[in-house]
Every structure is written in structure tokens, then in C-alpha cells.
Amino acid sequence: MFETRSIFTAATFAVAFMTAGCAASTSDDTATVGSNVTVSPLISGRSAPYLYLGWGNPPSATSVMSATGVKWFSLAFVLSSGGCNPAWDGSRPLQGGVDASTISAIRNAGGDVVPSFGGWSGNKLGPNCSSASALAGAYQKVINAYGLHAIDIDIENTDEFQNNTVQDRILSALKIVKQNNPSITTVVTFGTTTSGPDSTGTRLITQSKALGSNIDVYTIMPFDFGGSNMVTDTENATNGLRDKLKSTFGWSNATAYAHIGISGMNGKSDQSETTSLSNWTAIRDWAKSNGVARLAFWAVNRDRQCGSGGSPGSDCSGISQTNWQFTKVTSAF
């Protein structure tokens, strides 16, 4: 059950892996594909692991950049501070705090960020904003605050993912965002089964076409399968998403892969499974060879070895490793 992935947050281990990266454009990416949906060219930032500044003993972003070569981070999470007002973790301001200063430092070091909205835990904007236009306005506040090139909407829990009204509100808001910011890359991140999207994920894809959402990257979170071959299951889940995108939009294999993201969990998850460094390297190589748009994992905070106990948590992976090994693998995507 991928819905249970959030066992590691500050209060609940919020596992939102919204893999927010962006992809290189392909020759098909500017074509109009049915229902007046224009597939926009994608930007750089294809490898953007999650970094959570309010949880898990967050490391220095620039130190991680220097050690690994990674340039982009998916920053978690933008939530509601009450009503339709965006704030980091629902409490930290958009300007004048650690998040804004970290974004500036990352950019000064030659990188950039993809803010992630939502996740598993907390008070989300999707259910709290009364309309698609209001929700788009909340997204726009964050876009304007940082002059963003990409945003990630992490739709995980039942309050957004399995609520059709809220799901449609998010998809309609993203259409407005794209109309007002034609060059921005929009990413939607959601759970998966080992064979691809479940009925809720399938509905999200179908509705994104029906509503003209013009989403650039559909990112799945292939983990919490309960103990499995993580490489094979990730490939099968990704190909299931590929086939759904092909049947929905009429895309080729190559174009479908160019609109897919993979967001994994490094080391041990909360469902009796382990993604080893060799697993993640194999997943990266397979994704790269197939032209997948983006690669991320949850989270940089966890990309280091635990203490003597060895149990995974908010700031360690639960496996034997040196600091930032998964990030370094991801940076080579």
C-alpha cells in the first residue's frame, strides 16, 4: 500500500518524494496532442533529490552540491498556513527565512530549486483553497517569490489524491499556472503499484487530459511495495505509467518517457524493503537509457549512514554507506 509511505516526518516521517526535476526537450515536445493540450519543452534540473529544511537534520545544500556535483534540489514542502496562504511547512515565511536564504545560496552556487507542494502530512493548499483560480493564485505567490522555473505538486494522501474534487481543482489550477507562466515546468508526483498507476492515478492522468492541464512531468513514487526486487518493480511501474500516457495522449514510447519522472526512497523504506546503492545506480542507468525526464529520491536528509542502531529515520538511510552517495549517483542522471 503506497499510501502508507509517510512514516518518517518530524511528526510522522512525511515521505513525499515528489520527484521534481525537469527534462531535456525532445523533437516531439512542442507538438499539440489532442484536446488542445500543448506539450511544452522541458528544462534542465533533471536530477533533483528532495531536501527538507524543516526536518531530518538538514545538511548544507551548498556543501552537498560541492561534494556530489548535484545542481538542483526539490525543496519540501509548501503547505497552507491557514486558508489559501502558502508557507513552508505551513509556518515558515516565503521570504526572510531559512528557505529563501537556502534558495539564494543554491543559486549563487550555480544551481536551482523545484519547490514541492503537498506531501503526505500537514495542511495542504489543495483542500483549503476554495477554487482552482484561488489555488493557482497560491501557486503563483510562490512562483513570484522566487522567479521559479519549475514546481512539483506532490499528491499523496487521501485529502488530495483520492478526493476527486480536490484532484480536479489541482489539475485545473495547473492549467491556469501554465497559461500564466508558459515556460514553467509543472510536475505532478503520486504513488504507484508495481505495474503502474492504480485506478486513482489512472483517473488523474485521464482528467489531466480532459481538463487541459498541460502537465510536463508525471512522476511516480515506486517504493513501499512491501519487500520486492526494487529495480524490476521500478522498471515495471514506470512502463505501466508509460503505457497509460501513450493510450491517453497518443504518444510514442520516447515521448511518454520524456514526460515521466521517478522518485524513489534511498536505503530502507518503512515497508520492509531496501533500495541499495547498486539498485539505485541500476535504476538511474535504466531511466537514463530510456530518456526518462527526471530522477529524484526521498531524501538528501537520509543520504547518510545511521548510528549504531542502524534503523532508518529522518536523517539516515538504515544501510551501510558514506554521506551523499545516493545524491552523487543521482547527479549523474
Catalytic residues: 156
134 C-beta neighbours (distance < 10 Å), count: 15
Q: Please name the residue that has the C-alpha cell 542502524.
A: 310
How many contiguous H segments (helices) and E segments (strands) does the chain have? 10, 11
CB 19 within 8 A of CB 295: yes
**What's the rounded Cα separation, in Å, for the pair 99 and 38?**
33
**What's the rounded Cα separation, in Å, for the pair 283 and 290?**
11
**What's the rounded Cα separation, in Å, for the pair 228 and 234?**
10
- Cα–Cα distances in angstroms (integers) from residue 85 to residues 144, 170, 194, in the given order: 14, 15, 36
CB neighbour burial string for 26-61, b if at least 16 within 10 angstroms, e if fewer: beebeeebeeebebbebbbbbbbbbbbbbbbebbeb
**What's the rounded Cα separation, in Å, for the pair 126 and 118?**
8
CB 15 within 8 A of CB 21: no
How far from chain centre, in Å, is Cα 254?
A: 21
